[in-house]
Amino acid sequence: MAAANIPQEEFDDEFLTCCVCQSLYNDPRVLPCLHTFCARCLERWRKGERQFTCPTCRQQVSLQGTGVNSIPVSFHINRLLDFRALRRSEESHACCQMCESGARVEGTCGDCRLLLCKNCITSHGNIPTLKDHYIITLDDLKNPRSRQNYTRAQYCPKHTDQRMTFFCQPCAKLVCRDCTITEHRPGPDHDPQDVSKAAQEVRAELQTLLQKAQETTEDLKKTTSAVGKELTTIATNCDIEDRKIQEHFSKLRGKLDEAEKEMRGKLREMEKTQREPLLKEREVLEKLKVHRDGLHSCANVLARDGNWVSTISSDGDKLNRPHGVAVTEDGHVFVADAGDHYIRKYRYM
């Protein structure tokens, strides 16, 4: 256990100290909320009331009897206190509390609540009235299995000289022999049984529950394993399909790129096919525009007012700025000279 590694002083403060009186537990009682306190501390805390709150968590507590003696004793804390006392006796070299021999302590009795020497432990086993007392030795204290078998004897709060060796199942309560004759007499409302028999029945029920819990645990492990495998399978399958999807759309993108490239190429070819004749036509039109401009100039000269016929000659006068030409059916050539604004006539020979 983790507590085994805690220093003794820290263990005492953490587990064996009452938070009310700040001392080691004395007659520890455990409340329904599982908080533990000394009986005398609870007696002072409740101030004579049958109902009071837990000093730690403030949960409401109702007494079943007239005093705190009706509150269950903390068997676990009492065991730890006995272990502590026995361990401390070894460290302090304490002497036997039962005899006056001054012998070294070798164990403790849960019934007598005394530290015993080796001889007194032996005497307990030889005396009929003492041989059924719960005893743990220093050697047993070092053995975890032996520690589990030890418990402090519980005496009836009403019959203080009687150990509670019976368990009333309807009441779920430990009772003594005298209680089985008085308030827990066998009948419709009470069924006191020997503690050992009741413990065997409870142990058998616990074993059954434990077996079911173990089976449930195994089923949970199998289910958890199956779920884990399914999750792994799903993840693996999804990864495979994801790669397939990536490859598929990668191929589609490649085909789309090729189709795009092909269609754009066809578009360029179509553009070229449609542009070439138009470009040639535009070139012809540009040439015609030059002739059109020349004819326009001829028309402007011919339309001028004045005696321009006298300027027509065929004597080979030199042209200044020829700008247009026209040929008649009878072989005459008319040239417009933009330099001196004349039209010169020539004969085609």
Tens of pLDDT, residue by residue over 238-276, are 999 999 999 999 999 999 999 999 999 999 999 999 999
pLDDT of residue 2: 43
Q: Which residue has the higher pLDDT, 8 or 161?
A: 161
pLDDT of residue 134: 80
pLDDT of residue 243: 94
Asked whether the whole model's pTM tops 0.75, one would answer no
Cβ neighbors of 56 (< 8 A, separation 6 or more) are 19, 33, 35
Question: 310, 279 in Cβ contact below 8 A?
Answer: no
Q: Which residue has the higher pLDDT, 74 or 316?
A: 74
* pLDDT greater than 80 at residue 127: yes
Q: Contacts from 138-144 at CB under 8 Å and sequence distance 24+?
A: 138/86, 138/90, 138/105, 138/106, 138/107, 140/107, 141/83, 141/86, 141/87
pLDDT of residue 157: 78
Residue ranges of the alpha helices (H) in the chain?
8-15, 39-46, 75-92, 118-126, 138-141, 144-148, 195-302
